[in-house]
Amino acid sequence: MNVDGARLREDIERTAEFGRVESEEGRGRTVRAGTEANRTAREYFLTRLEDAGLMVRIDAVGNIVGRWVPESADSDLPPVAAGSHLDSVPEGGIFDGPLGVYAALEAVRTMQERDKKPERPIAVVSFTEEEGGRFGSGLLGSSVATGQRSVEEVLALEDGEGRTLENALEGIGFRGEGRVNAAGWEAWLELHIEQSDRLETVGVPVGIVTDITGITHCEVSIRGEANHAGATPMNDRTDALCAASEFVLDVERAASEVVASESESAVGTVGSLSVRPNATNVIPGTVECGVDIRDTHYKTMNELVSRAKSSLARLEAERGVETAFDREFDVEPVSMADRCREAAREAATEAEITTMALHSGAAHDTMHAARVTDAGMLFAPSRDGISHNPKEWTDWDDCETATQVLCGAMARLAGSSFEG
């Protein structure tokens, strides 16, 4: 049941033109949710769904679902769903998201052409605002589809200019009705680029994901006293940035120690600093820090949060600063369903394709879907592990190979008879 790699490539390359950005290296795109580039990417996707004979639905937050109900299927049975997203980060690559969307569609087209006879319907899905950045922190469409956020809450989210997601979707003609309900799916699968170099390093073309990391984002405030950089003696300072520097190193040290003793997949990062008043001749008075903590084990995530708080308590005692800590975003890790992983392994074995098991260190819509239905995820190799960058690249042969495994897994989960 070989997929058409040239057709898959054509769809991804065509999508790469929407929101295209000039880059000295690679091919970049900027497709923010609710923008003109997002509209053109969505419209092209609709035409491709319709060309394949799928019935299209758009829900209130702009999630797009193409439904295939072959004659062999019982239309009342829950469908097997697969897909990803069409939006991107600013100046991102061309594979992150579109590969998963069009691989799912290519799997359906392949089953149609090979006369496979699934017993249940199949849905091809593109979720709204996976990347985040314009409206909230991301994974918005899937959070609504899985009942974790309401339609009303998400539509009311505003971008930096005060425009709501509802207005943005209406502006591009993709504010639909109702709510896609992922809990009504028999299973969910997503193919994505790895965004790391583990597959490339060992020369394996397809990864079968075991777990998706949990993510905690914390906002930290460290308040000292702004004062004159020249007239204030060194022993009479309460420098917020010096305290923050120690905090950054404490987070790094804690994560490294957890990796060495408890969990190899744990990471801790202080990724943003805002220093005030941010003047060369003024002792920093306030620093705001953004902390990112991830692991496939929630226990170690909590441990790293606890150690970050302990660091702040020490800084208050030793440096005289005042601190505040807010765990503003927290998503627990999730495991992929055994039967979805097994379907992928069987498909790869039949096609004589080598796979490896690995976890995902990045967030994906699948982590929401896995909370309401059986879910699985596949990775295709990323050259040099680069992503969210015009230099992001996955060889076309690898795209085709991973889509081959996705197709076989979808067919198995849909109960295909494999006749024809």
**pLDDT tens figures, 114-154:** 988 999 999 999 999 999 989 988 899 999 999 999 999 99
- Percent of the chain with pLDDT strictly greater than 70: 99
Residue 220: what are its φ and ψ, rounded to 5°? -120, 135
Task: Specify if 418 maps to a domain.
Answer: no
- For residue 328, the SS3 value is strand
Q: Using the 3D structure, point to which of 297, 331, 365 is the last residue of a domain.
A: 331
Going by pLDDT thresholds of 50, 70 and 90, the confidence category of residue 417 is: low
Asked if residues 44 and 138 have their Cβ atoms less than 8 Å apart, the reply is no
The verdict on 306 and 360 lying in the same domain is no
The verdict on 98 and 191 lying in the same domain is yes
Asked if residues 190 and 207 have their Cβ atoms less than 8 Å apart, the reply is no
The verdict on 389 and 255 lying in the same domain is no
Residue position matching structure tokens 């060369």: 280
Structural domain count of the chain? 2
Q: Which domain holds residue 378?
A: 5-213+333-413
What's the farthest any 2 CA atoms get from each other in the chain? Answer: 85
CA 131 vs CA 30, 142, 222, 359: distances in Å: 11, 11, 29, 19
Residue 350 belongs to a domain with what CATH number?
A: 3.40.630.10
Task: Specify if 419 maps to a domain.
Answer: no
The verdict on 62 and 183 lying in the same domain is yes
Task: Specify if 420 maps to a domain.
Answer: no
**pLDDT tens figures, 38-88:** 999 999 999 999 999 999 999 999 999 999 999 999 999 999 999 999 999
**pLDDT tens figures, 286-321:** 999 999 999 999 999 999 999 999 999 999 999 999
pLDDT-wise least confident of 92-101, 130-139, 322-331: 130-139
The verdict on 228 and 250 lying in the same domain is yes
Tell me: pLDDT of 411 over 50. Answer: yes
**pLDDT tens figures, 245-291:** 999 999 999 999 999 999 999 999 999 999 999 999 999 999 999 99
The verdict on 155 and 234 lying in the same domain is no
Going by pLDDT thresholds of 50, 70 and 90, the confidence category of residue 418 is: very low
E-state strands within 137-265: 187-193, 206-212, 214-223, 227-228
Q: Which pLDDT value is given to residue 420?
A: 37
Tell me: pLDDT of 178 over 70. Answer: yes
Local structure of residue 7 (DSSP, 8 states): H
Q: Which pLDDT value is given to residue 133?
A: 82
Instruction: Find the mean pLDDT for residues 101-121.
Output: 96
Tell me: pLDDT of 355 over 70. Answer: yes
Residue 257 belongs to a domain with what CATH number?
A: 3.30.70.360
Residue among 127, 156, 110 at smallest CA distance from 414: 110
Q: Which pLDDT value is given to residue 86?
A: 98
Side-chain half-sphere of 365: how many Cα atoms within 13 Å? 34
Q: Using the 3D structure, point to which of 331, 354, 389 is the last residue of a domain.
A: 331
Local structure of residue 158 (DSSP, 8 states): B
Task: Specify if 239 maps to a domain.
Answer: yes
Going by pLDDT thresholds of 50, 70 and 90, the confidence category of residue 156 is: very high
Tell me which of 418 and 226 has the higher pLDDT: 226
